[in-house]
Amino acid sequence: MPIDFTLTPEQQRLRADARAFAGDVLSKVGAVTQDLATPLARFAATRPFYEQAVAAGFLRRLIPAPLGGQSTGVVDMAVLAEEFHAVDVNVSLTLFGTVLGLFPVLLGGTPRQAERFFAPFAAEQGTPLAAFAFSEPGGSANFTAPAPAEGVRTQARLQGDRWVISGAKKWVSSGTGWDGKGADLLTVVCRTDLGASPESGISVIAVQGPAEGIVLDRAIDSIGHRAHLQPQFRLNEVRTPADHLIGPRGGGKALVEACFTGTAPIVGVFAVGLMRAAFDWALNFAKMEKRGGATPIMSHQAVGYALADAKMAIEAVRSLSLRAAHAFDMQASGALELALHAKVFGSETAVRVITDLMRVVGIDSYDRGLPLGGLLADALVLPLFDGGNMGVRRRQLHELMQMPDYDPLATSGD
């Protein structure tokens, strides 16, 4: 099969539309949110921008065509993610967090569940939010560990025709919604068989919001992504219909891992967007600023070489991430490994590259009035979330390479 990195005409249009929308609309988010004192106030201020993104069809363009959307796969997500994340991480992450919240239904739901749950998100109106309620206070890296480890601590018991869910969640993007009463759709990872090992007793259950029993403890005041909601909250006897179980009872482990495989290349693309924004600003700075010298600092080899290294890194991460997204769409044999590489390499490269670009600019890059410090703060989470590189992603690679049938060449193409 010939190697072809060309986007389809539809994907090229998606990129052009996303780039124009980000420049015209998302570029204004920072000015509106930056001086607001609390995470909830900043998140609320993004709602009109998110509503415009939904109305412009960008959420629908991330939903598969059979479910009322226009997306053809993860490559489409990657194309949109780079353009949005290069301009504003907050609305971008709210949008993609919603897609992650829908992933369990997409991958494990019945046709009836998919039709019911996806309809509000394909309507191109309002501000619908979905959230994947996985992470818990105290960490979830060992969510399937057997006793004496705890694994997932949130519990669900079947009571008549209702699941009753109790527990606590943390770092769930948009999890408590705009009003603190829950996202429009919350896909909750929980223990449904307390006597079983965590590996076989975990399930995913959908909760439609607003829901009684969801209690916001606090909106985390995060280092980066300052206007994106990352709550810590409790589910106190939250009730949801029995037929809201997604996939088989006890099949949550496989469903969680499948969801996070699809998101891993997107984190690599988030890294590209942040590096791209930092590079563009640093390049312009180097061409304009003399720093007291006779010529712009771009004329110095140290500056030029640093910028060249940064651009090489951007191209490498973009290529790897798009390759991983394509492999996922094609269900290629090396898709999981490529996705893990894109997530780990992309996220850690972004932190390094933006730090190097700050060295090019010098001490002024430490000024909040300039963008590089904020871009670095946004990049710092990339190695930590969506399965931390140390606690989850490298372990997945380690386990993959220990398998008897592991083929190092599977990632080179079928």
- Domain around 215: 131-249
Q: Which of 386, 405, 407, 414 is catalytic?
A: 386
Assigned domain for 1 exists: no
Is 386 annotated as catalytic?
yes
Q: Among residues 70, 95, 128, which one ends one of the domains?
A: 128
**At residue 198, does pLDDT exceed 90?**
no
304 and 332 housed in the same domain: yes
pLDDT tens-digit profile of 351-375? 999 999 999 999 999 999 999 999 9
Rounded to a whole number, what is the distance in angstroms from the first to the last CA of the chain? 9
Q: Among residues 72, 107, 128, which one ends one of the domains?
A: 128
For residue 58, CA distances in Å to 18, 33, 117, 128, 302 come to 8, 22, 18, 12, 41
d(CA 279, CA 163): 50
341 and 258 housed in the same domain: yes
pLDDT tens-digit profile of 267-292? 999 999 999 999 999 999 999 988 88
267 and 393 housed in the same domain: yes
Assigned domain for 347 exists: yes
**At residue 1, does pLDDT exceed 60?**
no
Query: 228 and 43 in contact (C-beta within 8 Å)?
Result: yes
Percent of the chain with pLDDT over 70: 99
229 and 278 housed in the same domain: no
301 and 359 housed in the same domain: yes
CATH number, residue 152: 2.40.110.10
The pLDDT value recorded for residue 180 is 94
Q: Is 40 helix (H, G, I), strand (E, B) or coil?
A: helix
The pLDDT value recorded for residue 414 is 59
Q: Among residues 217, 249, 281, which one ends one of the domains?
A: 249
Contacts of 406 (CB under 8 A, 6+ apart): 400
Across-strand partners of 215?
234
The pLDDT value recorded for residue 3 is 66
pLDDT tens-digit profile of 310-333? 999 999 999 999 999 999 999 998
pLDDT tens-digit profile of 16-58? 999 999 999 999 999 999 999 999 999 999 999 999 999 999 9
How many other C-beta atoms lie within 10 A of the C-beta of residue 168?
17
167 and 216 housed in the same domain: yes
The pLDDT value recorded for residue 20 is 98
Mean pLDDT of the 92-101 span: 97
pLDDT tens-digit profile of 227-267? 999 999 999 999 999 999 999 999 999 999 999 998 999 99
CATH number, residue 376: 1.20.140.10
| 193 — pLDDT class (breaks 50, 70, 90) | very high
The pLDDT value recorded for residue 141 is 85
| 81 — pLDDT class (breaks 50, 70, 90) | very high
Quickly list H helices, 289-404: 301-330, 335-361, 371-379, 394-402
pLDDT tens-digit profile of 120-129? 999 999 999 9
